[in-house]
Each structure stands twice: as structure tokens, then as C-alpha cells.
Amino acid sequence: MTLPRVLGLDDDGTLLIEPPEELKQLRMHERKHRNIKVKDGESIRLKDVAGNTMELELIIEPGSAEAFGVKVCSSPDGQEQTVIECNPSAKNIRIDLERSSLDKSIKHYELCMDKPNPVVTEQTAPFELRNGEKLELRIFIDRSILEVFANDRQCITQRIYPTRKDSLGVELFSKGGSMTVESLQAWEMAATNPW
């Protein structure tokens, strides 16, 4: 975990997990997109949104999609990419690490009491979209750290190690139906110290 988290309770007693408001002071060079429709099986690469020190804020209308989300730190050919995917029917959100790095010596381990550090290729967290609810993501990329906040109710932190200098792209994707990104905002993140 690299970012502080603000914890609270919703009116119904649901635990809220949010990044602190002070992080907005680090935002620079805002880019905005509205109403991007992503069809089944389609992946749309954003031409003006790229980087490995950035914040993304998305509001997604799931539509008919079975699974949907965003790829970050993606090379132009997709050889390297980290996939952030929401699957409403499975009631989860996950980070797919299968192609996060071309360096085969990098392995992600799951800490288990009953298994001796098995290698994993994804991290999955429980997450349920309420009836008619849109997915609201805040994604922070700080070189090898990726933090994903979903609807202020779930947060996943993951280390990623892209090797290619051009693994900076951001792509939107949808599976099993179409979805709409109603709003996407992106900012470069200013350094918090001068060195």
C-alpha cells in the first residue's frame, strides 16, 4: 500500500474505503473523455491518455457487458498490459497479471497458511454492483504500484513490473456485451518530493 486510505461507514453500515482528498493536489494536465461506447470484444486505446505516474477516474455504465474494465501500462501491441476487470455476475473485481511483465523472473506469490507460496496470475476481490449502479473507479499508477478503488467500497493494491518503455497505454474493453464509459478523467501525478 502506498496511499493512505480514509475509512468510514455508509448510512447502511457498509465500510467505505476512499483515497484522501489531499491527493487531488498532485493532479496535473487533465484530460477528459465522455460517452465512449465499447462494443463486445472491442478494446479502445486512448490516444491522449498514457503514463506510469497517473490517476484515472472513470464512471462506467455496464450495459449488457458480462465483464468490462480498463487495461493500464499497456504496450502498443498488448504484449505487456495489466487488466482491471469488473465481473458483475461473479460479484468481483480483479487485476489480471498474466501479461504485466515480460520479465519471467518476476513472480507474484499468494500468502497462504496451507500452501507454500503458490504463484498467482491475478488478484480478485469481492465486489458487487448494486441494482442499476454504475462502476466508479479511481486508479492510481505509481510506476510499480497500482491501486484501484471501486465505488468507495473496495480497494486492491498490486505491484506490477512492466519492462518495456512503451508500456504506458490505457485501453477500455468489454466482453459479452457492450458498455459505456460515461466519464473518464486522467491526470499526471506530481512528485511528492523533489528528489
The total domain count for the chain is: 1
Q: How many Cα neighbours within 13 Å face the side chain of 192?
A: 9
Model confidence at 113: pLDDT above 60: no
Give a yes or no: residue 3 inside a domain: no
Rounded to whole angstroms, the Cα distance separating 99 from 161 reads 10
Give a yes or no: residue 118 inside a domain: yes
Give a yes or no: residue 114 inside a domain: yes
Give a yes or no: residue 17 inside a domain: no
For residue 76, CA distances in Å to 24, 34, 80, 86, 89 come to 29, 23, 9, 23, 30
Determine the average pLDDT of the residues in 54-76. 98
Give a yes or no: residue 88 inside a domain: yes
Model confidence at 117: pLDDT above 70: no
> In which domain, by residue range, is 173 found?
28-189
Cα dihedral 38→44→49→51 (10° resolution): 120
The predicted pLDDT at position 105 comes to 86
The predicted pLDDT at position 195 comes to 66
Determine the average pLDDT of the residues in 135-140. 98
For residue 50, CA distances in Å to 15, 38, 90, 134 come to 32, 19, 30, 24
In whole angstroms, what separates CA 177 from the centre of its chain? 20
The 10s digit of each residue's pLDDT in 26-52 is 999 999 999 999 999 999 999 999 999
The 10s digit of each residue's pLDDT in 146-174 is 999 999 999 999 999 999 999 999 999 99
Give a yes or no: residue 55 inside a domain: yes
Q: Cell 466482453 belongs to which residue?
A: 175
Three-state DSSP at 25 gives helix
Give a yes or no: residue 195 inside a domain: no
